[in-house]
Amino acid sequence: EIVMTQSPATLSVSPGERATLSCRASQSVSSNLAWYQQKPGQAPRLLIYGASTRATGIPARFSGSGSGTEFTLTISSLQSEDFAVYYCQQYNNWFWTFGQGTKVEIK
């Protein structure tokens, strides 16, 4: 099983600042990585797939990068609606695994 490790567990950021979230895979997943945003009481929302492609309707302030085992989600200027938990997920094969999540909170 491919283990996905996200860091940090919690990120405290002021509105308008940049947030950088990391995700590491225990073995190469090529670019088969997605990022999701989840707010309390809601289902996850797909932000990024293919490591760097924004899903439909996702603002340009969200960007993804990386390949192989190291990935990054960057939120260029945090808006109030961006405070949430973010998960990475590998789909390199049909046996998916998710990271444990990074909570982005207001500083």
Partner 1 sequence: QVTLKESGPVLVKPTETLTLTCTVSGFSLSNARMGVSWIRQPPGKALEWLAHIFSNDEKSYSTSLKSRLTISKDTSKSQVVLTMTNMDPVDTATYYCARIHAVHDYAPDYWGQGTLVTVSS
Q: Least distance from C-beta 98 to partner 1, angstroms?
A: 4
Shortest Cβ 85–partner 1 spacing (Å)? 9
Residues of this chain that bind partner 1 (CB under 8 A): 1, 32, 34, 36, 43-46, 49-50, 53, 55-56, 87, 89, 91, 94-101
- In whole angstroms, what separates CA 40 from the centre of its chain? 16
Nearest residue (CB) to partner 1, 62 versus 87: 87
Token digits for 5?
């490790």
Q: Which is nearer to partner 1, 53 or 77 (CB)?
A: 53
Give 53 or 74: the residue with its C-beta nearer to partner 1: 53
User: Smallest distance from the beta carbon of 76 to partner 1, in angstroms?
Assistant: 22
